[in-house]
Amino acid sequence: MYRSRLLCCLAKNSRYTLATPRERALLGVVQARSLAADGQKRAAIAALLRAEDDLAAADIGDEDPSRVWFFQQASLAHETARALWTLGDLDGALREFNNSVLTRKADTFSRTHAVTLGYMGMVQARKGNVEAACHTWAQALDAMEGVQSGRAREAAVTMRRVLSPFRNRGIGVAAEIDERAKAVLERVA
């Protein structure tokens, strides 16, 4: 029911119908994130499914506006993970963050890659797997090398905050990531 109402609403919007499939996918995932933040789970899931369909309909040769050139499968997976995380679906969020990491051109989108890994580590930590989070955060910190970004900085701050209960427990990997995150913060301060 929600999906059909959402599709009807989007179809009535002339900007949406005139948009390229890639633009529609971006609009759809942004809408899904908003719906998730508002607690509208069914509508958010419907918007995510529509965004997937729209991106699948996009062709490499499409005449997309330059403002959406970046929106590829990795971007959709990242934004889908954020929506699922907001909805409390940690397993789904982890799966989609992993999809984003695997499909993103890390050397071209190093900031976003680092941030995605940071978020992925947060989800792993929230699920109680601090060792996996530390492994993921090590990759995030590697990817942050040379990156100047508020979101990357925020990821390092969050790493330190999540690891603070483990600082004095003698857990080597947690102490190592905490120190590396501290060094990143000193570099980008």
Residue pLDDT, tens place only, 7-57: 555 555 667 778 888 899 999 999 999 999 999 999 999 999 999 999 998
What is the number of other CB atoms lying within 10 angstroms of the CB of residue 165?
11
pLDDT of residue 13: 63
Task: Answer yes or no: are the C-beta atoms of 124 and 94 closer than 8 Å.
Answer: yes
Segments making up each domain of the chain, as ranges: 105-189
Question: Is the Cβ–Cβ distance between 32 and 83 less than 8 Å?
Answer: yes
Residue by residue, what is the 3-state secondary structure of 78-124? HHHHHHHHHCCCHHHHHHHHHHHHHHCCCCCCHHHHHHHHHHHHHHH
Are 79 and 118 contacting, i.e. CB atoms less than 8 angstroms apart? no
pLDDT in tens, 71-112: 899 999 999 999 999 999 999 999 999 999 999 887 778 889
| pTM attached to this predicted model | 0.85
